[in-house]
Amino acid sequence: MPSPLQSVIALPVRALAWLGSLGTRAIAVLVVLGIAVPPLGELLRPYVAEAIVLLLIISFMRVDPSSLRAYLRRPALVLTATAWTTIAVPALIGGAVHLIGIDARAPDLFLALMLQGMASPMMASPALAALMGLDATLVLITLVTSTALVPFTAPVFAHIFLGGMLSLSPAALGLQLAAILAGALAVAVVIRLAFGDAAIKRQRAPIDGLNVLILFVFVAAVMSNFITDFRAAPLHVLALAALALAMFFVLLGATLLLFRSYGSERALALGLMVSLRNMGLMLAATEGALPGTTWLYFAMSQFPIYLAPQILNPLTTRLREKDAPIVSLRADT
């Protein structure tokens, strides 16, 4: 019979496991809660950076070394996808919005779009890919390589396109990103050494639940002003929401076209990853010192993220039915 102490400890673990089992439904509920209770978001906003670091730790902690090595032995696809999401995407976004003149007419929106483009893929993208039955391992390894490059690429693009718009210099931005990622990786390695891979896999559901709770800190913070902003300027908010959705589909569609020769399912997995940008990491790196429109665009960008599985599931099913046999990994070499 378990002791009273063990029973007390087991209760929150079971609660976390239940929350983790709800998956994207729990996240959708948290988005609604974040919108409906603005004071909660204001209370949690100072802790956004810490929440992002915890999400990074959990993501690094769950990396499967054997899967990582398998893709690294055949790196052409991973390297191409890494270059696309880390170098080509921010360059194309920066060039396009500069040509349109957004940098002059709406500098706060320009800053938001550039931070979105410069960011690495979202840490939750492997989990979302797995949920949709796509190649989560490919997404994970590309996520890791892309994230490792961001401290070097983001300062370059910040220098080229943003100039003095950030409170941090490009070099300071790179150092801040490197410190966040290196610290998260170090803590994750210590946890893996202390508990082992088998224990981490056994506790998958509670860890998923913890992920959801931590993610809520970020969601609630960026959604805290949604109702106020919508009441003040509904057309402005709706326009930003439409732009966020358009950016999601543009990045998804471009990636699908670029990687279609590797098989539609792989291309869709990479498209999902590229279209879900880790804007939370950029918030952590800038310590949340961003203009109101930038925050609002980040908030609107959460809707495509959490709706992605529902939006793309019909496409996934159709591609799985029509797709020819996926190109062998040997073709990547």
Q: What is the mean pLDDT of the chain?
A: 80
pLDDT tens-digit map of 83-129: 999 999 999 999 999 899 888 888 889 989 998 999 888 877 776 77
pLDDT at 72 over 70: yes
Can you tell me the mean pLDDT for 201-224? 80
Sign of the dihedral through C-alpha 256, 258, 261, 267: negative
Short-list 14, 28, 21, CA closest to 216: 28
Short-list 150, 119, 123, CA closest to 53: 123
Single-letter amino acid, residue 171: A
Structure tokens at 152: 């070097």
Residue partners of 242: CB distance under 8 A and separation at least 6? none
pLDDT tens-digit map of 227-261: 888 888 899 889 999 999 999 999 999 999 999 99
Distance CA 256, CA 290 (A): 32
* Helix-, strand-, coil-residue percentages of the chain, each rounded to 5: 85, 0, 15
Single-letter amino acid, residue 276: L
Distance CA 154, CA 285 (A): 11
Residue partners of 80: CB distance under 8 A and separation at least 6? 259
Distance CA 133, CA 135 (A): 7
Can you tell me the mean pLDDT for 297-322? 75
Distance CA 253, CA 264 (A): 12
Side-chain-side CA neighbours of 81 within 13 Å: the count stands at 37
Short-list 85, 216, 210, 86, CA closest to 151: 86
Helix, strand counts (H, E) of the chain:
20, 0
As its CATH architecture, domain 47-203+233-319 has Up-down Bundle (1.20)
pTM: 0.74
pLDDT at 18 over 50: yes
Distance CA 105, CA 32 (A): 32
pLDDT at 5 over 50: no
DSSP 184-236: HHHHHHHHHHHH-HHHHHHTHHHHHHHHHHHHHHHHHHHHTTHHHHHHH-HHH
